Amino acid sequence: MVALAALDGTACLLMLSLGRHAVGMLAPLAVQMDALTQYPPAAGRKLLMDFGAGQGYEGQELRSSLSYLLAHYEQMGVHFDEVWAWEPRPVNQSTYWQGVPPDVKFRLHLYNTGLEGDTTSPAHPIQYIKQNVQAGDFLVIKLDVDTQSVEIPFMRAVQADADLRSRIGEILFEMHYIHQDMPWFIGYGDGISYNDALNLFHSLRHEGLRIHYWP
């Protein structure tokens, strides 16, 4: 069982009564409204980090998360100044870049490597965020690498560090857990319960972080 932030009894009962749809929904109304008044941001850089971006950009597989996110945020008026993409599976560099639009190529940094589980490592993106993302910047993170030993330490670091959270505008996270509704998570969500997932999302939203379940 993964130890995550606890909720009071009322919140737990509310989540259980709502069922699986509670993931990504629960947060004090004041927190939600305050977050919405700050979105999209008026100043600062717009930054996107996609962990688990796919082996192709567009057309080589069912629409990649990266191409989807860029188009989705563009529709909401957010044009990312810089984009980082990590993909641990082999990527054909020539084919990949052929599918990337010209206006994206000069903003995109592609890393064909996985993330390590040690978030304190100087090479971990969390350390880059803490050192380089400034107040006023708007950073979006999508985390879906199908590896608990990477994802859980990443989210624990976010949960434990208020300064780190203040540098993140929005997180989209596919948290793998064991539940009858998610049979395809077998092998990925071992040791994590449905309530663990609810608790994590609720606690981070309670702290004012915009976090959504991906996809």
3-state secondary structure (DSSP) of residue 199: helix
DSSP-derived secondary structure letter, 26: -
- The H or E element spanning position 202 is helix 194-206
Question: What's the pLDDT score for residue 8?
Answer: 35
Question: What's the pLDDT score for residue 22?
Answer: 42
* Domains of the chain, first to last: 48-213 (3.40.50.720)
Question: What's the pLDDT score for residue 129?
Answer: 97
How would you write the pLDDT of the chain (215 residues) with one tens digit per residue?
Answer: 333 333 333 333 333 333 333 443 434 333 443 444 455 665 899 999 999 998 888 754 456 899 999 988 988 889 999 999 999 999 999 889 988 999 999 999 999 999 999 999 999 999 999 999 998 999 999 999 988 899 999 999 999 999 999 999 999 999 888 766 766 556 665 688 888 999 999 999 999 999 999 98
* Cβ-based neighbour number of residue 110 at 10 Å: 20
Cβ neighbors of 210 (< 8 A, separation 6 or more) are 35, 39, 169, 170, 171
Rounded to whole angstroms, how far apart are CA atoms 5 and 30? Answer: 20
> What are the CA-CA distances from residue 37 to residues 34, 42, 157, 202 (Å)?
5, 11, 26, 20
Contact 171, 209 (CB under 8 A): yes
**E-assigned strand segments in 17-137:** 46-51, 82-86, 108-111
3-state secondary structure (DSSP) of residue 178: strand
- The H or E element spanning position 150 is helix 148-160
Cβ neighbors of 124 (< 8 A, separation 6 or more) are 115, 116, 118
